[in-house]
Amino acid sequence: MGYLALGWRLFIPMIFWGTHVAIDEFQLATLQYSAVIESVFLTSMVIGILVVGYRRWLDMEPDGDFKQYLAHLKTRAKELVSPKPSSLPPSGGTT
């Protein structure tokens, strides 16, 4: 499978699949402590995602700081959640 993944440029999905299988094995081996371990793992993943996102944002905004990055994330989250105006005209009695 490794040669196919490299040959077909699917190496990244294979890494994520392999990580998933490794995490499953790790969870089975540490089942009695899984709540603590999962919390630590989730926290480390969130921190990792924030660090990668912050570095990418710094490439676009070299003079920015972490506080501005958090404000940018807040704005983006509001944009994603806010209702979008409909492109359809309102239904009504136009005669």
**In the chain, domain spans:** 2-78
Per-residue pLDDT tens digits of the chain, which is 95 residues long: 656 655 666 677 778 889 999 988 888 887 777 677 778 888 999 999 999 999 999 999 889 898 999 999 999 988 888 877 666 566 665 55
CA–CA dist 30, 37 (Å, integer):
8
Q: Does pTM top 0.85 for this prediction?
A: no
CA–CA dist 77, 71 (Å, integer):
10
